[in-house]
């Protein structure tokens, strides 16, 4: 059975938001149109406490978009975004929430970021999504949303690693593209067996 996984379609990732992805709002209508064609629709929501370790302003002297070393590996330091309960953390007003079976929040532990919908950035702390999908017989996963080169790519590659089939619908995703991160992510996804459609 087929699931549509809509990644982080939130105010802060759309134009005008704290971590805006260029033309991120263009994909809202295409995503809404895709929803009825799937057996299940799952939304992810980036959901960070104010003291989250991925925020540059929680690291005195660190510039946004620089990289730091965390106990679990390298971590990009982002502008403060998607703070729990804030307007920026809300889903974009144009997104059709009525078809969502599950809303999965991620990144709520202060000390660790979570790009992937399946694992936090230590690559081992599970979010529980794999068990949910398996319980429901959802094995053919299609990914859309923001951002293609971070949360979408990490989710799709983890899906393949976990034995699901993963497709990224490129017309319904947009990238941050930090220092060539989009091409690197596309290459890594292809190497992992993800279909770029």
Binding partner at 146 among Zn ion, ligand VGL, none, C-beta below 5 to 8 Å by kind: ligand VGL
Q: What is the dihedral of CA 181, 187, 192, 196, to 10 degrees?
A: 100
- Dmax (CA) of the chain: 48
Give the Cβ contact number of residue 191 at 10 Å. Answer: 10
Q: Are 104 and 129 in contact (CB under 8 A)?
A: yes
| Interaction pattern, residues 41-80, with Zn ion; x per rule: CB under 5 A | -----x----------------------------------
Residue 143 touches which of Zn ion, ligand VGL, none (Cβ within 5-8 Å per kind): none
Catalytic residue check, 8:
yes
Structural contact between residues 155 and 143, judged by C-beta atoms closer than 8 angstroms? yes
- Annotated active-site residue in 12, 82, 106, 158: 106
**Contact at 8 Å (CB) between 64 and 42?**
no
* 20: partner contacted, choices ligand VGL, Zn ion, none (Cβ within 5-8 A by kind): none
The footprint of ligand VGL (CB under 6 A) covers: 8, 13, 46, 78, 115, 146-147, 150-151
CB 34 within 8 A of CB 40: no
Q: How far is the CB of 149 from Zn ion (least distance, A)?
A: 13
Residue 176 CB, nearest approach to ligand VGL (Å): 7
User: Which residues of this protein are in contact with Zn ion, per CB under 5 A?
Assistant: 46
């Amino acid at each position: 059975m087929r699931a549509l996984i809509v990644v982080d379609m939130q105010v802060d990732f759309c134009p005008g938001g704290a971590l805006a992805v260029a033309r991120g709002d263009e994909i809202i209508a295409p995503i809404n149109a895709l929803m009825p064609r799937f057996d299940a629709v799952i939304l992810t929501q980036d959901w960070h406490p104010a003291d989250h370790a991925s925020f540059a302003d929680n690291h005195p002297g660190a510039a946004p978009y620089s990289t730091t070393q965390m106990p679990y590996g390298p971590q990009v330091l982002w502008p403060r975004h998607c703070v729990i309960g804030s307007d920026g953390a809300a889903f974009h007003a144009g997104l059709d929430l009525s078809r969502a079976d599950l809303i999965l929040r991620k990144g709520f532990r202060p000390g660790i970021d979570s790009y992937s919908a399946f694992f936090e950035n230590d690559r081992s702390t599970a979010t529980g999504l794999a068990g949910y999908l398996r319980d429901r017989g959802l094995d053919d996963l299609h990914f859309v949303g923001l951002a293609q080169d971070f949360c979408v790519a990490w989710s799709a590659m983890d899906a393949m690693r976990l034995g699901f089939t993963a497709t990224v619908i490129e017309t319904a995703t947009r990238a941050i593209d930090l220092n060539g991160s989009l091409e690197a992510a596309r290459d890594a996804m292809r190497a992992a067996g993800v279909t770029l459609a």
